């Protein structure tokens, strides 16, 4: 009896592996297809944004990043001058 349970568990545990290796949709393997689904669900915005608004947001983000980098460089220079 315990051998039967072990065999059933082995079969059930290998089914997802067979599914992943044999799955292909629209010429994409499971990994690529799952990546597209994952990116669509979690990383793309729910609402579409106009291109102009998106570009303005990107400009603000890049300006904030460069400003933060400058602050970090200025702080490190100030620390070096103190020493």
Is the separation of the CB atoms in 29 and 23 below 8 Å?
A: yes
Question: What are the backbone dihedrals phi and psi of residue 74, each rounded to the nearest 5 degrees, phi first?
Answer: -65, -40
State the pLDDT confidence band at 74, using cuts at 50, 70 and 90. low
Domain boundaries, the chain: 1-44, 48-83
Q: What share of the chain is helix, strand, coil (3-state, %, to 5)?
A: 80, 5, 15
pLDDT for 33 equals 92
pLDDT in tens, 5-62: 999 999 999 999 998 888 888 888 999 999 999 988 888 777 776 778 878 888 888 8
Give the whole-angstrom CA distance, residue 16 versus residue 11.
10
Q: What is the pLDDT of residue 59?
A: 86
């Amino acid at each position: 009896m315990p051998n039967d349970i072990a065999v059933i568990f082995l079969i059930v545990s290998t089914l997802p592996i067979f599914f992943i290796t044999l799955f292909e949709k629209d010429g994409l393997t499971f990994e690529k297809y799952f990546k597209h689904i994952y990116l669509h669900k979690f990383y793309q915005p729910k609402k579409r944004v106009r291109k102009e608004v998106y570009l303005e947001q990107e400009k603000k983000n890049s300006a904030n990043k460069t400003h933060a980098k400058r602050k970090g460089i200025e702080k490190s220079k100030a620390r070096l001058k103190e020493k």
